[in-house]
Structure 1
Amino acid sequence: MSSPTSEELRPSAEAEPAVPAPPPAVAAIVTTGSQWSDTEFTLRALAAQDYPRLAVLVLCDAEGEQGLRVRELLPTAAVADPVSSRRSRSRGRQRGRMGAVNNRGASLVRGADYLLFLSDRVALASDAISILVDDAENVPGRIVGVAGPKLLDASDGLTLRDLGGTADRLGVRIPVAGQDELDQEQHDEARDLFVAPTEAMLVREDIFRIVGGFDPALEGDGAVVDLCWRIQLSGARVRVVPSATGTVQSDTAPAAHGPSARQHEHRARLRTMAKCYGWVHLLPAVILAAVLAAGEVVLAALRGRFAQASDVALAWLWNARHLGGTFALRGAAKRYRRVRDADLRRLQQGGSVRVADWFRYRLSPEGGLAARTTIDESILGTWRRNAHRTVWVVWLGVLGLIAFGSRHLLTGGVGAYGQFAHFPDAGTMLGAYLDGWRDSGVGAAGIGPPAMGLLGLAGAVLLGGVGLLRNIAIWGLVLAGPVGMWRLCATGSSEDGPSRNGRLVALVLYAVCPLPYNALAAGRWDVLLAYGTAPAIVLLTSRLVGTSAARPPRDGSRRGTAARLASLALLLAVVAAFEPFIVVLAAAAGVALALVELVRRAPRREPLGAPVAGLLRVAVAVALAAVAHLPWLFEFGSLRAFLEVSLGGRTSSTPLSLGELLRFQTGPLGDLPLSWGLLAAAAVPLLVGSGGRLWLAVRGWLVALAGFAFAWVIVAGWADQLVSSATPELSLAEVSLAFGAVGLCWAAAAGPATLATADSGAPPRIRSAMVLLSGIAVGAMVLPTAWASIDGDWSAPSFDHRVPLGLVDDRDVGPDYRVLWLGAPEVLPLRGSDLGVEGLAMGMSVRGYPDIRHSWATPQAPGDERLANAVRVGLAGDTLRLGRLLGSFGVRYVVVVERSGPSYTDGWDRPVSAAVSEALASQIDLRPLAADPSVQVFRNEAWWSSRSQFSRPIPAGFAADPVDLVVSDLTDGIGVLTDYRSATSQFGPVGAGTVLVADSYDPGWRLHIDNADNAGAAAVEPAPALGWAMRFDPPQAGQAELRFERSAVVSNRIAAQVLIWLALIWVAIGQPTPLADRLAALMKRSTR
């Protein structure tokens, strides 16, 4: 046996000082299998490498035939046994494990700076090692611990085999490249990932020693995930460099005896979590893993897959037996840990990818076909004999229609278009509410939108599964609407309420209403929210007014009324956090219901106090919902400012006619005459009804008229005179239509019971004709929606702009910058503000594509108006230096969106005018970039980072007049504080000179500078700059942190809002309920 020595790898001691330093020494460690053709494939590629300081160590049978062949093919290579002869007899079981073999090879290497671990099925390109080393040595930022190449299939050279990947919170590896994905240079940007390619990776030798190398008990992907995770805990990075390429041959070796690959994977995940997570993150992860493992064991056993069930169970038993060793390794990891778990989460995927894949497969056509099982005939017979089988059939039909029409969106995911923005991790969303700084626009101090706090809290409850949360926020609302309508129609007695068939009619009509499917096509989350919650709001409102009976509590009516009032207030507060206009619609529904009750009671000389008191209760609930958002309202300074921002400038829908409103034609669905069927079905009870069911229909119609009235007032422009402080946007008309749909379906629910009774007053022939009319009306509504479901996506875009615009996203690496978005409001991927120029809106995002944090109206800062003025000047053609004006705001890219989705998917076009395109193209400092035809992308050549330091002095009053920016070149500013932790914390070294920060001035910012000579750190306060931003003049150079400290006023507002919400929750759910009473009675009986 021979091995690389320090003399082979280290530079000569007699080298002259003037000679440049030699490149780092690399030792390639090749683990071989039984196939010589594979080994030869790898060694020939290593022999062709152009890297000058490369040594090769081949781990094989050194004295056998394979060792002789290695020496003949590559005489300079060292050959060693995979396991030392002294241990081979006692630990022969470790011979085939990847971790132990690679550790053996690393222990034989001396003097290497980098270790290149290779499988014998990989052939690297001749320049691959040079590229990997160059990237690892020269990339800015933290040191690179692992670098991996792009691996292609050796058979065709086109299919991506491994490009690294990420991992979920349970340690499941998620590859970047899809199965059989072709290489079209779509992944050719070097970037940080969580896991390197398994079969080829370059590891820094000193980091490898610090973390203790591979875990010798692990195998395959699990060993690599474990090593990369621990290396990142030490503070180093894992990168994939696609410009370094290699090819991989198919594995033809027979499977080894022993535990299966599946069992090794489960072992590695549990062991890696136990070693790498801190206690705060470890306990929830282990609980989640245990729940999923138990479910997998049960499901696998029920389906007869006993091997899978035993593998999962045995993996847990194996980890239990090795718990002592795991805790020892955990202690070692604690000693070299330099990075928190929360900082690594940005490279991980929340939740469990295996659960998500399982559901996605079950919902796909292939999964549905494969998952069909035989139903026991006795169970089927029982179901057939069930008296409520019609209810089951209708519900299954409704759910089947929704699932069939949404199948491509369910399996492929809903893109980030319109208001369906991407969700960041739960901590980021909570921070957007709690940190006291909003980074929308040019930034501003204050609490964040309450919606961000609710989403962040929900993400934490789901253990970080923000992808699941986003699906719930979309599909949960689509399903909540029919469920709410079913419960709304369950109110009333058998004499004056809807029958079971009436509830089914209302369910079907509400489920096939075009409103939610048009909202899916347009990315209108506010419309989906109104559709999903309007039935529940009307139900709670009707109970407060007294038109719908609720089961009285057993301890008196006062506490029961308080609970119902708080329930409505809480529901309105939650919905208003996302769509404030819903409070106005709820109040209008309460007025409509109270008015019907007054009209019904007046001729009978019944007391009118009950409906008036009910209306007052609704008013109190609406007021409480508004009070719950009072701290957020204070951020705007005045009600006028809040109305100007929240009611306008979001989505300018195309104006609708009255006929289109009545047919709910807000998108592709609703254009056929058949869509008048809902109005026809709702009219039948008015024509033939009597008694309580007639009044039920009247209530439904008045609620519907309230919704339609708001929609028409907004569309017709009459709201401009009614609301002097703001012009309500046209999109609010679509939100109002949700209450119109609820009212019509509620009225139609009275039809079957009305037609079934002989005391309706209508002749039998009239009633027969009305039955036929009702059937035709319901069928007319179902047919267009059923036909539209054939395409499987409701005409929604299958893709979003994130892939075509990947070039504007630096993935939190490099200097800080912003992206300016221009376009029609309905196609922008964020909440835009009206520019007043040819219907264009403008929005800003930080470091690339926007997420859900940019989807809400926020108070406007002085810098926002200055930015808007700069854009208007550029679009008007009054300057050719728009880039310099935008550069002071940190704008690096300008993106003009002209379509809701890329050119290769469904969507709607909103092209900008030729004048706007010419104005942008004529700017001498905006360089157009090649992009998808649906967008125009410009790079600002006059850009300087929004955290820039200047060696030359910057006058204190510079750029108070924007003309100073036009005549000044500030591109010599150096981007600093590039370690972006959050919107309120950035790290990095600073030198001498003024630091300009392109965020709105606020005294809460501090620049903390560590001084290596002194124990303390200097805290530099900001000074106004550029007429709206900040500057810092550091007294010394050093490692610095730019940090925002939340003010006491903001903290008090947050605390006040949280207390208000907790009070509402306590009153709403803290009252005795029938279920609680039953449980109490059961406890009493059990103690006797």
Structure 2
Amino acid sequence: MVAHNGSAYLPRTLAALADQSRPADYVIGVDAGSRDDSEVLLQRALGVAHVVSHRGKHGMGAAVNAGLAQLAPSRREAATGSSEWIWLLHDDAAPGPEALAELLTAVERAPSVTVAGCKQLDWHAERQLIDVGLSTSRWAERLTLIDADELDQGQYDGRTDTFAVNSAGMLVRRDVWEQLGGFDPALPGSGDDVDFCWRNRLAGHRVVVVPAARMFHVAHRPNALGNAAAARKAQVHLRLKHAPLWMVPVHAAAALLGSIFKFVLSIAVKDPGHGITQLVATFAALGRPSAVIKARRTARKTRRIRRSVIRKLQTPRREVWSHRRSLMEALGSDTNAVDDLEHDPLAHQPSGDASDDFAALATSKRGWIGNGALGAVIIASVTSLLGLTGIFGAPAVSGGALIPVAAGLGDIWHHASSWWISLGAGLPGRGDPFGYVLWILGVLGGGDANAAMAWLLLLSTPLSGLTAWFAAGGLTVRRRLRLAAALFWAAAPALQVALNQGRAGALIAHIMIPLLALALLRATGSAVGQGRFEAPAPGDRRFTDKPAVKPGINGMPSWTAAAAAGLAMAVVTASAPSLLIPATVVIVLCGVLLRRRGRTVWWALLPTAALFIPFGLSTLDRPRAVLADPGVPLAFDAAPLWQQLLGQPLEFGQGGGLSGLPYFAEGTLPWAALLAFLAAGPVLLLAVAGIWLPGRRTAIARSLWVVATIALAGGWLAGQVAAGINANIMVTPFPGPAVSAAAFALLGAGLLGAEQLLGRADRAAEGGAKHKLALRSATALGMVLLMVGPLAGMAAWSAQNLLRTSPVAAQAPARSDAPLGTPRLVESAGQRILPATAIDRGTGPEQTRTLLISTRDDGTYDASLMRGAGTTLDSLSAIASARNILGAPGSETVREDDAARAAVRRVVATLVAGQGVDPRTDLEQLGAGFVVLRAADTAAQLTASRMDAVPGLIAVGQTDVGWLWRITPLNQPALQPADITHRVRIVDSNGSAIGLVPSDYDDVDASIPEGPEGRLVVLAERADPGWTAWLDGRKLTATTSGWSQAFTLPPSAGHLTVRYENPGALWAGIGQAAVIGLTVMLAIPMPARRQRTGLSRDEGSLRKEHQNA
């Protein structure tokens, strides 16, 4: 008898062993490293001298061998001439009184039988069958071919010969046991009995089942070694072990492909946990070739008959599928637990004179449940329209950190997925993950991302309220609290600052954070259930046959919600990278601390990992880029932590007024502090109450405080790292997203605190009419205080933006009197950034670039080398923004210009000086064919007049963007009159351009003519090893021309192909597509039917699922 942590079962098993009508001649107990009282129980029943302690990890077979070797060495057979038989017992399998006698009778009648087994019945339901002999499919799946809940009615009592028998109660002739080497040590948990009987058959012996020998076995023991993973691992091992040698690679590939298919299928049926388990188990089985080789060698030594003989004993595929369909139908016939939620407990209550039939209809919740959401959306929409006048119907928006987006969805996708950053002279690096968010935004906008961005700004306030209303439903069922949450979130200062400053990433993160929180609540089963039904009386089982649960509530995890959380987290972190580390920490803590309930949340990390791992590999030399905010770097004064706790991302003076509102300026009252405390104070007080008031959901409230702490700490730490540069001013990540995350966590804790207080008020109101009136009045006053702050905040924001006279620049006042709020910088704008002529050449085969120069108020200049139709929001790069920052956090410096940036600076100095110096050498290397000077003031006019005198600049005229000049090539006489600088040139050995090559945005695919020896093809791109070129399929030698990438060209003509390659680009793309695709598939909600989950399961796991159902 082998025991392992079986103290709960051993008393009955040992008693059954003692009650055998034919007692065993000698009993050996083996304790296999138990941590409970198993060894003590064995010693009490069998005697200390008959018990062996075995600490190995090779399963039951090793334990049996250890017991035999120490207490019963093989010597009797030689002395007596009779055979010894070993009866194997589990600690959780109790034999019937006649079990051993019946087994011995069967083997005595048939000397060819060397292995005999028992009929297995359920430990708890003694008439329910588990198995009467075992079989395998052609792919080595362990089969019992017993229907679900099938009762023992003697229908299998005629069975004798079978493929295999259960190891619980297996009777084995000792010489055969030793000849075969016992159980395979590579199968410690499942499949050892099937494998042993398989080898016994191959050795020419018989295996029989004796139905009269009954064994009462625990069907699905908790924490057993024979789980689904062990069964799959054993199945793959058996396929490799017993297949012909030439078929082993085929079986390995088939097992791997089958596991991948089952994994995808499990996602489709919302059962990915099982699919992941099967896939990991398959890899584990394939990853131990030494165990397979050793097992095959052992099996070959004892094989006496051909493998084809055994195959005839295996169950045909059609019979396997028929049996599986039967199990799936039994699984699907169970009443769905979701139906219990819809069950009305009043349906079975009698009505009549003794019952008030209208009592069940008396409720205060007669209206539509979405009335609160509709009210919040209307209020928020009016606020947004008043605060963002001029944006309605705008073709594009710009200002602050926001610039227009590319006109085409293909351009947006290219910028997001490219491994070459097409800004200025270019540089290696992966596109920002935020580009994918912009692409989705463009798809939602019908292909027009600029119009979609304008609508996003207008709808962000009502959308925030709506998402908060939905998320609040996961924490409370009280509609007034959900309305208060929606108004609070729609009026959040972090949202208003993001709107006024054009911080699109922070804006999207604010909208999505409630959805992420709701998805995580449902993924862990922590969301509150809808409806309040009375618990049935004790003994009343009308509604208690199955628990009233569904995925997402009452502790039942939800894989669909976990996938939705993964998609939401990917959007949030792509929009606000500073939340990447805090969000990851929160999810890891959920997965670790919630254990089984938290196993689903690990999936939420996959989409974010798929987005950021390729991007992170591009930032190994500048990791600060991971934290950079999307958009143009915009300086700000971050609020101290105590103000961030109030939901304020930007600092305000304690005695300051309200920005843009003269009647609420500083001096009279501390309006800034009053409004900040009025908006956030009630929520903070309720959040504090939520962690101290005892209740079922107090732990969730405390967890939300931990989340808020992690978010604020993460935001503070990110704020110590400069991640971008604007006008030589280093900019840290914006704290708004961290403040939003902390604010929503505190809002959730506040909702739980309010729920506790209202619940107590409801119970206390039963005392009397006066007491009830007082409590209702106090509740109403509390709700007014909870809502007046957000309403006042929305009114102040709308008034501030309405009363402004013109767009203002971001100018921070002194910290001591800084007002609350920020001026609106976002305005309607045109989609075109450059003049039409420059756009035509920039998007054509020339791929000509444009140098855009702007004047500042202090007399200095800004310059940007733009490609195509101009620099757009999707083309901005965090890597490019952070590449010029050096030093540790807190002591950063700006690095010196490289050759390309120095060339731009030199060209601008030459142009604005207007002293007759020819800048075309640098302009030609930069690929610039146009110069634009933005018309801002009279200083720009003076600069334009000086630039007219610069050699090589031909004035085109003034456009809606500014003054435009065309640059003539240095060797104009040798070229066509209409030619202009191209992105790709062919130069001779002296560096003079002798040809222009058409190209695409990044790549080159064109035919070139013959030319002189020593010529080069030069790209207006920084030199990098990733650039490769071929001429008629022959790879060209890479070189440089100054700072530019170049390749040597032979004199012959041919077809030129140039592109930038990254070795991991293909695999990164496949990985991203697979992870995102599978997550989207898993996130699509479907009716929860257990029958569908059986499509991805084998017989053993189907039985366990049926038992759980």
Q: TM-score, normalised by structure 1?
A: 0.47
Higher relative contact order at CA 8 Å, sep ≥6: structure 1 or structure 2? 2
Whose Rg is larger?
2
Q: TM-score, normalised by structure 2?
A: 0.46
